[in-house]
A and B are shown apart, each in its own frame.
Chain A
Amino acid sequence: MNETQPLARNAQARIGKQMMLPWSKAFEIALKSIKVRFWRSMITMSSIVLAIAFLMSIWTSTAITMSLSLGPQREIDAIKARLAVVREAIKGGAGAPTRAEVEERYAADLADARALKQAAIREKQSALDSATTDEAKKLKDEIEALQAELGEAKTLELLRDHLAACRSAVETTKGRLDTILQQERAGGETQAKEDAPPPPKDSPAPSTAPPAPRAGGIGAFLDFMSPTDKWLAVLALLVCFVGIVNAMFMTVQERFREIGTMKCLGALDAFIVKIFLIESAMLGFIGTLAGIVIGFLLSTVRQWIVYGGATWTYLSLASILFAALMAALVGLVLSIVAAIFPAQKAARMQPVAAMRIEE
């Protein structure tokens, strides 16, 4: 044995170390294995599509509900603030804003108010043509009154009346939305706790009222999800996770010969892991995108049926993008994490596996 030792040493130097392949090659192989098992891949993907669609629909409706319950109040508050300034200006006195200042600050509101008045005048003028003499006289008086209100000196009053009208309109909308929101909330809760009586609809019901608006972000967002929704979302993600793990393990089991052969041809463990992770990540990515679109569409259609046109009034694009981003993150992380154990199992497979005969 001793005399062979130096010989072996020398020879050892001739053996190189296998290097790692670039990501692009792993990516290519992973893409091909998805293509060749297209329908099976679609089924694997469907679990993540469904889970993410569910999550996204919950988050979209949360975003819409949140905007509907907080939006009108915010608008009312804003109008009230403007109204206060205008009233102060009308009252005059020391420190009060001048008319010019107010006109400049609320130019948009003023323009709206003027447009509304002018529209009313035009309407009455067109009514003049077909009116009897008595009616015509009355209409002419009304037009004069309206035109007087449009006068330069009266802008503050015009603005005040306009803002007040706006406020009461928004308040009406808010009242209607709150009723629907409360019904929805009550409906959700009766489903969750079957025996719980629905709260009286005419009472203000402060206990079920939305929590006080606070700084936006994830916290406020999560507060708005009902406990049932949270529980269902977590459950859906868990089921999806288990589904992916199961599907990936089956794929690994099925591909023992392919994996063994690759190792015989010189693939390193890390390369096999890469292939499986990339495969799952790709499926996860596409599935997540599809899930986000489906979930968003389904949810907005439902909300639109319940709340009508108001659905869009207070909805900010940012909140929907935020929800979509979170869902995308969850979907991608989920599909990669779920593939870790199966990929490790595949990598640990011995090259001898390639020799196995049985299917």
Chain B
Amino acid sequence: MQQNIVRTRDVTKVYRMGKIEVHALRGVDLEIRAGEYISIMGPSGSGKTTLFNMVGGLDKPTTGKVYIEEVDVAQLDAYELAWLRCRKIGYIFQTFNIIPVMTALENVTLPMVFAGLTTDEARDKGVELLGRVGLGDRLSHKPFELSGGQQQRVAIARAMANDPSLILADEPTGNLDIKTGTEIIGLLKQLNKENSVTIISATHDHKMLSASDRIVWIRDGKVDRIEERRDLKIEVGTIEGET
């Protein structure tokens, strides 16, 4: 049996906005296997982002359990959570979030420094990672000297810094043009295959669908349906046909 990297059990999340209770999630059961490439899709306000934050250990459920590598996230203290985020999970953001005061290389080595690597070890590994994402010649560039696609590549190298078992990508192509977006998806897929790192991405981007092993559709705070890629081939056609 394949190990589940993320597992949720009847997860609900209620936000209180003044006197109104907003039920963002209404009982989600989800199992994500190690090495999978998962896309979470759904319209705005469907609870997609909330679920995404849950499985990334960024938010705690109101009721229910979230297990990351079979560890109950709610049981962890601040130090353990930081440890988890540092070593087990890599984050990729829609807005790239490269630390503006640091060079590409320093951005990539920062999580390694947080993990306690020495400066030399971190440097070597950072150079190697930036080479892998195709930025070997831009080590000492500052974020504002890089294009959006290049910044996202730095972010991907940074997410891979401590060899995480899980990468969370929040709309990774949202701020990129179609061509660059396709390249970034290709890069993520490549990492997914070569390092067998699990990738979970929340997205609106239909280009993402063909790269995904499974797609989780969220509607009204519940899992609407989960599609395997083999069922999808036809659907991608129809979507493209419609638009």
Residues of chain A whose beta carbon lies under 8 Å from any beta carbon of chain B: 1, 4, 7-8, 10-12, 14-19, 21, 25, 29, 32-33, 35-36, 257-258, 260-269, 350-352, 354-355, 357
Closest A residue to B91 using CB positions:
A264
B63 part of interface (Cβ distance < 8 Å): no
Asked if B70 and A357 make an inter-chain contact with CB atoms under 8 angstroms apart, the answer reads no
Query: What 10 pairs between A and B have smallest CB-CB spacing?
Result: A266-B86, A18-B82, A266-B114, A18-B83, A17-B79, A11-B70, A32-B101, A261-B97, A36-B101, A265-B111
How near does chain A come to B115, taking the closest CB pair, in angstroms?
7
Q: Which of A4, A269, A355 contacts B93 (CB 8 A)?
A: A355
Q: Is the CB of B85 within 8 A of A264?
A: yes
Interchain CB contact under 8 A, B58 and A350: yes
B 54-95 contacts with A by CB, 8 A: 58-59, 67, 69-72, 75-80, 82-87, 91, 93-95
List 21 interface pairs A-B (beta carbons < 8 Å), by A numbering: A1-B9, A8-B67, A11-B71, A15-B83, A17-B79, A18-B114, A32-B102, A33-B101, A258-B100, A261-B97, A264-B91, A265-B86, A265-B111, A265-B158, A266-B82, A267-B82, A268-B78, A355-B49, A355-B94, A355-B170, A357-B94
- Asked if B69 and A352 sit within 8 Å, CB to CB, the answer is no
- CB contacts (< 8 Å) of B85 on chain A: these are 263-266, 351
| Closest chain B residue, CB of each to CB of A359 | B95
Given contacts A269-B78, A350-B59, A352-B53, 5 further A-B contacts (CB under 8 A): A15-B71, A18-B80, A263-B85, A266-B83, A266-B86
Interchain CA distance A97-B116 in the complex, whole Å: 78
List chain B positions with a Cβ less than 8 A from chain A.
Answer: 9, 49, 53, 58-59, 67, 69-72, 75-80, 82-87, 91, 93-95, 97, 99-102, 110-111, 113-116, 158, 170
Chain B residue at smallest Cβ distance from A33: B101
CA distance A351 to B111 in the complex (A): 14
**A21's contact among B80, B93, B102, B114, by CB below 8 Å, is which?**
B114
Overall SS of chain B's interface: mixed
A15 to chain B, nearest CB (A): 5
Residues in B with CB closer than 8 Å to A4 are: 67
- Smallest distance from the beta carbon of A43 to chain B beta carbons, Å? 18
State how many angstroms separate the Cβ of B102 from the closest Cβ of chain A.
7
Q: Is there an interface contact between A36 and B100, defined as CB atoms closer than 8 Å?
A: yes
> Are the CB atoms of A12 and B114 closer together than 8 Å?
no
Given contacts A264-B85, A265-B158, whether A355 and B114 have CB atoms under 8 Å apart is: no
A108 nearest CB across to chain B (Å):
61
Chain A contacts of B102 at CB under 8 A? 32
Pair A29/B101 contact, Cβ less than 8 Å: yes
CA distance A352 to B67 in the complex (A): 18
User: Which chain B residues lie closer than 8 Å to A12 at the CB level?
Assistant: 71-72, 75
Of B59, B78, B99, B116, which is within 8 A of A262 by CB? B99
Question: Are A14 and B69 neighbours in the complex by a CB distance under 8 Å?
Answer: yes
Q: Secondary structure at chain A's binding surface: helix, strand, loop or mixed?
A: helix
What is the CA–CA distance of A25 and B114 in the complex, to the nearest angstrom? 10
Contact check, A354 vs B97: say whether CB atoms are below 8 A apart: yes
Does the CB pair A17–B91 fall under 8 Å?
A: no
Residue of A8, A267, A354, A355 near B70 (CB, 8 A) is A8
Whole-angstrom distance between the Cβ of B54 and the nearest chain A Cβ? 11
CB distance from B177 to the nearest CB of A (A): 18
A11-B71, A265-B110 given as contacts; is B97 within 8 A of A17 (CB)? no
Give the most central of A1, A17, A269, A350: most B CB within 10 Å: A17
Residue of A nearest to B115 (CB): A266
Contacting pair A8 B72 (CB below 8 A): yes
Contacts of B111 in A (CB 8 A): 265-266
**Complex-state Cα separation, A269 to B91, whole angstroms:** 18
Among A7, A8, A33, A266, chain B packs the most CB atoms within 10 A around the CB of: A266
- Write out the residue numbers on chain B whose beta carbons fall within 8 Å of the beta carbon of A15: 71, 76, 80, 83-84
Cross-interface CB contact of A264 among B58, B77, B116, cutoff 8 Å:
B58
Please give, as numbers and ranges, the residues of chain B lying within 8 Å of A1 by CB-CB distance.
Answer: 9
Whether A354 contacts B78 by the Cβ 8 Å rule is no
Given contacts A8-B70, A15-B80, A266-B115, contact A351 B95 (CB under 8 A): no
Closest to A8 in B: B72
Contacting residues, chain A, for B76 (C-beta < 8 A): 15
Asked whether, in the complex, the Cβ of B87 is within 8 Å of the Cβ of A266, the reply is yes
CB distance from B58 to the nearest CB of A (A): 5
Contact (Cβ within 8 A) A18 B79? yes
Q: Would you give the shortest CB distance from A282 to chain B, in whole angstroms?
A: 14
**Complex contact B83–A17 (CB within 8 A):** yes
Bound CA span A357–B97, Å: 10
Residues of the A chain whose Cβ atoms lie less than 8 Å from the Cβ of B70 = 7-8, 10-11
Contact B82 A263, beta carbon cutoff 8 Å = yes
CA distance A287 to B114 in the complex (A): 31
**Could you say which residues of chain B place their CB within 8 Å of the CB of A16?**
80, 83, 87
Instruction: Chain B residues near A262: list those with CB within 8 A.
Output: 99, 110
Contact yes or no, B114 A267, CB < 8 A = yes
- Whether A357 and B83, one on each chain, are in contact in the complex, defined by CB atoms closer than 8 angstroms, is no
Which residue on chain B has the smallest CB distance to residue A352? B58
A280 to chain B, nearest CB (A): 16
CA distance A157 to B80 in the complex (A): 89
Q: What is the distance, in angstroms, from A71's C-beta to the closest C-beta of chain B? A: 52
Of all chain B residues, the one with the shortest Cβ separation from A16 is B83
Closest chain A residue to B7 by CB distance? A4
Bound together, the chains give a CA A269 to CA B9 distance in angstroms of 29
Residue contact B83 to A11, C-beta cutoff 8 Å: no
> Separation in Å of the B167 CB from the closest CB of chain A?
12
Residues of A within 8 A of B75 (CB): 8, 12
